[in-house]
Structure 1
Amino acid sequence: FAGTIKGVQRIDRNTGKVLDTISRNRSFAGLAMEDGTIMYSEKGAINIYSNGETEKYTHSDKLKDYRVVEIEKIGETFIFGTEGDGLFIVSNDSIIELNTESGLSSNFVTSICEINNNNVLIGTRFGMNEIDLNSYSINIISKRNGLPSDYINDIKEIINKIYVTTDNGLAIINNLGIQVNNYNKVIFEEVQLTDSTLLVTTENYFEVDNRHNNISVQYSFPVFTDANDLKYSYKFYGEDKESELASTTNEDILQFVSLKPGNYSLSVTPLIKSQLISESTATMSFAIIPLWYQKTSVQIIALIAALLLLAFLIYHFLNRASKKHKEQLELNKKIFKLEMDGLKAQMNPHFTYNVLNAVQNLVLKKDSKQAYNYITKFSRLMRNYLDSTRSNFIKLSEEIELISNYVQLEQLRLDNKFDFELNVADNVNLENITIPSMIVQPFIENAIHHGLLHKDGKGKLKVGIEQQNGTLQIAISDDGIGREKAGIINSNKTKMHKSYGVKIIKERIALFEEYYKRKIEIIIKDLNENNVPSGTNVHLTIGLRK
C-alpha cells in the first residue's frame, strides 16, 4: 500500500504495478497492522481498509479537524501525531491530548517510535520526546543533550538501538533507558566576539586583538539524559590571579568581559546527576594580543620618554627659578640703593644746616617755645624718613604725615613765605591705601626750593588727593617762578645743594612697575598766565593693589 497526494493505492510487491485505488484523496499518514488492515488519514477523516472495504475509524469524527501526519499502534492503543496540534493517544474509548502546554517540546509531530510496551519516542520539529504511556510524563531530549539537531525527521528502533535522523545528521542511541555508557568530550561550538562570531577550530585555540576583549563561549555535551541532570564545571584562568574563575553552571554559554591582554585557558567538565565526568573535559586556549600602545616595549619607551621630559621640565623649572632668584636679588639691590639715594637726597646737609640754624636763632631770641616746637617737628620728620626706608610701601596716611611735617618745617624756616593747602577726597581711605614710600616728598621739596623760594611775595603750595577708577590721583601745584626761570637761577649756583630727587623717583618708579606690576605715571606741566610762567603742576597716577 502507498499513500500519496493522489490518494491510497494497493501495489503489487513483485511487479510494482498498481492493483487498485483505495482512495483518491490526498493521504497524510498510514499504518499497516498485523491482521492486514490498513489505517490511513486524509483531510477530515481517518479510515480503515480491510478485505476490499473502507470504513471510518471509530473516533474519526473527533479527529477530523486535525491533520494527522503520523499513526502508531502499541497494543490496543493508537497514537496520532498532528501537524501543529500535538499528540492524541486513544485507548479504548478515552482520548488523551498532549501538546506544548502538557510539556511536549513542539506541536508539530514528525515521527513516532515504540521503545517498549510502556514508552514511546515522539519526534518533532523541536526535539525528541520520551513519553511514559502509563503516567504520560514527558522527557525532552534535544541538541543540548547531544542530538545533532532539534529538527527530527524520523526515529527507528533496530536491534536495541534507536536511530534518529535529523536535518544535521544521524544519531544512534543504545536502547537502554535512553542512556549512553561511552561519553564524548565537551564540544566548543563557537566564540562570540564584540562584533563577530568566531568558529572554534579542532585545535581549540584562537587569537584576537584587545578590541575584542568581551568574549562569549558556547559549548555542548553530546549525551542523552534529562537536561535537568546535566551541569558543567568550568575553570578559567589567565596569567594573573585576578582573572581566575571556577564555578558550576546550568548554562551552555560563558561570558568574559573586559579581559586584559594575555594568554587564557578555559576547561569545561560535564556533571551528570552531580557526578563529574572527568574524561569528557575539554580545554580551550586563546590569547588577547595587546594593541601597539599596550605592548611592553612601547610602554618602556614611553616611560623613558616621560622620565626624560620630566627631567627636562624639572631642570627648566629649577633653572628658571634660579634665574628669577638672581634677578630678584639684583632688583632688590637696585631698590635698596635707590632708597638710600632717596634718603640722602631728602636729608641733604643744606636743609639740616638751615633747620639747626633756625633753632639757634630762636634760642638766642629766647623764644624757647618756638624752638621746642621746631625741634619736635624736626624729630618727627627724621622719624618719618627712617620709617619710610624700612618698607617699599607705606600707608597713605603716613605719607601725608611726612609731607605735613616737612612743609611745616619749611614754613617755619622760611618765615611763612608760602601757604600750604591739603585736600583729600571723601572716597580716599587713608589707612587701607598704600603707595611706594618716599614718592611724593621730592616733588614737594622741588616746589618749595625751586618755585616758591625765589618768588617775590608770598606763594602757595597745593596738594590734592582723590581716587578714580582703581587709581590714586595726587596733584601737586605751586604758584612759583616756574621751571624755566628756576633752571637759570640754579645754573648760576656752583656750591649750592643739587637735588637729584626727581631723577631718583623716576628710576624707582620704573623698578616698581617692573617688579610689582603697578602702573605709576608722572605728568609735569608748566603753568602760564598771559604767557608768563605762573608755577608748576605735577600729577601722579598710582595704580592701586587689587
Structure 2
Amino acid sequence: RADKVQPWCIFEDKKGHIWIGTYLGGLFRYDGGKLEDHTFSVAKKSDSYLSIVMDSAGVLYFATFEGVYAYDGKQVTQFSEEDGMSSDLVYAMVMADNGNTLWAGTNQGLNKIHLDEFRKSGKKRIEPYGKEEGFLGVELNTNGAWLDQDGTIWFGTVNGLIKYTPGEFIPNNTPIRTNITGTRIFYTDTVITQGVTLPYYLNNITFEFIGICLTNPAKVRYSYMLEGGEEKGWSPETKSSFARFSNLPEGKYTFKVKSRNNEGIWNDTPATFSFIIGTPWWKTWWFRTAFVVFLAGTVFLAVRLRIRQVEYNERNKVRLANNELKALRSQMNPHFIFNALNSIQHFIMSSDEQGASKYLNKFAKLIRSILNNTEKSSVTLKEEIESLKLYLELEVLRFENKFDYGIHVDPSIDLDFYEVPTLLIQPYVENAIIHGLVPKKDKGKLDIAISLEDNFIVCVIQDNGIGRKRSMEMKEKSMKRSHKSFGMKITRDRLELLNSVRNSSLSVNITDLENENGEPLGTKVEIFIPIV
C-alpha cells in the first residue's frame, strides 16, 4: 500500500522513528527495519495526514481533515471545531513558545492552541484568528508554517506570506466597561428607572447592553444573570447584546451583565439594574383575607341552608305521616263502615247467611289490607289492585249494583316489582263513584287502566257519570249532605308532600269528558307515578 500513496509530510520523533503522513493514504511509521501502518491507531476516521510536529514532552500532533490529533503513544486527544477551532481542515502546524503553543492553520484561518493550559487543567483553550483579528491570508497552504530562530513565525497563505513577530504583539489586558443601553417591555422600547415597581402584567422585560472594545469589537462576549429568577448563576458567554426574560413572577430582581474583551479578559464590576414585579391582586393579603371570609361565609350559609332543608324535610315527613293517617281515616269513614254493616245486617235479616258471610269476609279483608298498607310508604301494584277490587266489590253491593267496573292491567307489567305510594289511587276511585256514578239515574260504568309509559306508571280512572260541573251544581242546591269527603284535599296535599320529600314528579291530570254539544259524558283522571 505504501508504494501507491503520495507522502505529504515526514517527521522523526525522539526515538528515531520516521513518521510518514500521506494524502488519502493514511499514516505510516518506519523503525529502521519495517514499515508499519498507523492510520487508524491515531485517528479512526481520517486517512489524510498533512503535517506532523512534536512538543518537548515527545507528544506528536497530526494535522488531519478532522482537526488536530495529539498522540503520546498510548492516548489520543482531538482538537476540533467543537472545541473552538475555526475549521477541522488543518493544512499546516508549527510549535512555538518552547512547546507550549501550537499554531494550526486551516482553510478558515489560524488557530492558537494553548498546550500549557491543557496540560495543567485539561481545558482546551483555542483562539481563532481571521480577518477580524488581522490575519488577512485566511487559508493556509499545506505545510505553509515556519518558526524562525528568533521566534518569528511565517505563514504561507493563498493570499501571500504573513509574518508574525510575538515580541511585537501587545496584549489587550484592559477590561472593558459594560453599559445597559435600553429596556423593552413586551418588545416596546420603554424608559424605566432604577428600582422601578412594575405591575404584575408587565412581566416581559428585555435588557440591551454593550461592552466597548476598540481593539476588536467583534470579539466581545457577554454573560448575564438575573438575581431572584429561576435560573441561578451566570449564563454561558454569548455574542448577543440583549437578554429577554418572560413571565416573571412577583418579586425583587437584579439584572447583572458583564463582558470580556478580545483577549478574554472579563470586567470585574458588572452593570446592574434592579426592579420589582408587583404582586397580582389575587395574591395580596387583603384579597386572601376577603376570600377566606367569603369562603367561610359561604360554608356557613351552605350549612345553615342544609340544616334548614333537613328540618324542612323532617317536618314534611311528619306532615306526610299525618296526612296518610288522615287518608286512612278517609278510607275508613264512618258512613262507609255504617253502610257496610247495614248491608251485612240486611243479609242476616233476610236469612241470607251465605251473602252475609261473603260480604263480611270481603269487608274484613279490606279493613286488614288498609291497616297493613298504612305501615308502608309504598305497596306493590298487586297489593294496590287487590285492595281496589275489594273496595269496588263492597261499593257495588253497597249501592245495589248501581254501576259496573273493570280493571285492565298491561300484561307486560310485573305487578310484584313495581310499587306505588300507599293509599293514592283509592280516593280518586271513591270520588268517581260518590260524585259521578251514584247521582246518575241509569247504571254507570267505571274503568281503571294501568300501563307503563316511558318512566311512569300511568293509572287512568274513567267514569261515565254526571261530570264535575253537574256534581258541583247538585252540591250547591243540596241543603243536606249525606257525606262530606275530605279524600281529594288530603290526596292533593299528599301529592305535594311526596314530591317534596322524595324529590319526584308525581302528577295528576283531570279531564271533563263532553260530547259535541257540550253535554257531560263523565270524568277521566290520569295519575302519573314515576318509577323509582
TM-score, normalised relative to structure 2: 0.54
Shift of 1:441: 1.0
1:263 aligns with 2:283: no
Matches of 1:200 and 1:334, distance apart in 2: 74
Aligned residue among 296, 311, 324 for 1:339: 324
Q: Is the 8 A contact 1:391 1:437 kept in 2?
A: yes
Matches of 1:212 and 1:532, distance apart in 2: 83
1:187 aligns with 2:178: yes
CA separation of 1:247 and 1:538: change in aligned 2, threshold 3 A = closer
Shift of 1:407: 1.0
Q: Is the 8 A contact 1:216 1:256 kept in 2?
A: yes
Aligned to 1:537: 523
Residue identity opposite 1:340 in structure 2: L
Q: Is the 8 A contact 1:411 1:418 kept in 2?
A: yes
Which region of structure 1 is more displaced relative to structure 2, 409-418 or 341-350? 409-418
Q: Is the 8 A contact 2:449 2:460 kept in 1?
A: yes
Matches of 1:381 and 1:484, distance apart in 2: 30
Give 1:39-78 correspondences, 5 Å limit. none
Matches of 2:308 and 2:108, distance apart in 1: 92
Shift of 1:504: 2.0
CA separation of 1:256 and 1:542: change in aligned 2, threshold 3 A = same
Matches of 1:529 and 1:135, distance apart in 2: 124
CA separation of 1:441 and 1:309: change in aligned 2, threshold 3 A = same
Matches of 1:391 and 1:316, distance apart in 2: 36
1:103 aligns with 2:93: no
Q: Is the 8 A contact 1:190 1:198 kept in 2?
A: no
1:134 aligns with 2:121: no
CA-to-aligned-CA distance 1:422-462 (integer Å, 9 cap, x gap) = 23456877667665542321232234445555767754333
Matches of 1:130 and 1:484, distance apart in 2: 122
Aligned to 2:463: 477
1:215 aligns with 2:197: no
CA-to-aligned-CA distance 1:320-339 (integer Å, 9 cap, x gap) = 33443443344333333222
Aligned to 1:282: 269
Cα-Cα RMSD: 5.3
Give 1:438-457 correspondences, 5 Å limit. 438-449=423-434, 452=437
Aligned residue among 485, 492, 507 for 1:499: 485
CA separation of 1:130 and 1:101: change in aligned 2, threshold 3 A = closer
Matches of 1:392 and 1:267, distance apart in 2: 82
Aligned residue among 403, 421, 430 for 2:388: 403
Q: Secondary structure at the match of 2:284?
A: helix
Residue identity opposite 1:177 in structure 2: F
Matches of 2:177 and 2:372, distance apart in 1: 96
Q: Which has the higher contact order (CA 8 A, sep 6+)?
A: 2
1:177 aligns with 2:169: yes
Shift of 1:345: 0.6
Identify unmatched segments of 5+ residues in structure 1. Answer: 1-99, 105-121, 139-159, 161-173
Shift of 1:406: 1.2
Q: Is the 8 A contact 1:270 1:281 kept in 2?
A: no
Q: Is the 8 A contact 1:186 1:281 kept in 2?
A: no
Aligned to 2:286: 301
Q: Is the 8 A contact 1:389 1:437 kept in 2?
A: yes
TM-score, normalised relative to structure 1: 0.53
CA-to-aligned-CA distance 1:258-278 (integer Å, 9 cap, x gap) = 3334222426475999x9x67
CA-to-aligned-CA distance 1:35-65 (integer Å, 9 cap, x gap) = xxxxxxxxxxxxxxxxxxxxxxxxxxxxxxx
1:249 aligns with 2:249: no
Q: Is the 8 A contact 2:203 2:277 kept in 1?
A: no
Matches of 2:156 and 2:382, distance apart in 1: 111
CA separation of 1:323 and 1:542: change in aligned 2, threshold 3 A = same
CA-to-aligned-CA distance 1:240-299 (integer Å, 9 cap, x gap) = 7x44224553656574533334222426475999x9x67x322233234325x6379x82
Aligned to 1:523: 510
Q: Is the 8 A contact 2:437 2:463 kept in 1?
A: no
Aligned to 2:366: 381
CA-to-aligned-CA distance 1:119-152 (integer Å, 9 cap, x gap) = xxx997x5633778722479xxxxxxxxxxxxxx
CA separation of 1:475 and 1:185: change in aligned 2, threshold 3 A = same
Q: Is the 8 A contact 1:231 1:248 kept in 2?
A: no
Shift of 1:404: 1.5
Matches of 1:331 and 1:453, distance apart in 2: 36
Shift of 1:346: 0.5
CA separation of 1:486 and 1:200: change in aligned 2, threshold 3 A = closer
Q: Secondary structure at the match of 1:264?
A: strand
Q: Secondary structure at the match of 2:490?
A: helix
Q: Percent identity?
A: 23
Q: Is the 8 A contact 1:433 1:544 kept in 2?
A: no
Greater fraction of residues in strand:
1
Matches of 2:183 and 2:290, distance apart in 1: 39
Shift of 1:238: 2.4
CA-to-aligned-CA distance 1:494-540 (integer Å, 9 cap, x gap) = xx55322123223334545666463634436487999998x842423
Identify unmatched segments of 5+ residues in structure 2. Answer: 1-105, 111-128, 138-144, 146-152, 159-164
Matches of 1:505 and 1:383, distance apart in 2: 21
CA separation of 1:509 and 1:295: change in aligned 2, threshold 3 A = closer
Matches of 1:403 and 1:520, distance apart in 2: 20
Q: Secondary structure at the match of 2:294?
A: helix
Aligned residues: 383
Residue identity opposite 1:103 in structure 2: G
CA separation of 1:231 and 1:487: change in aligned 2, threshold 3 A = closer
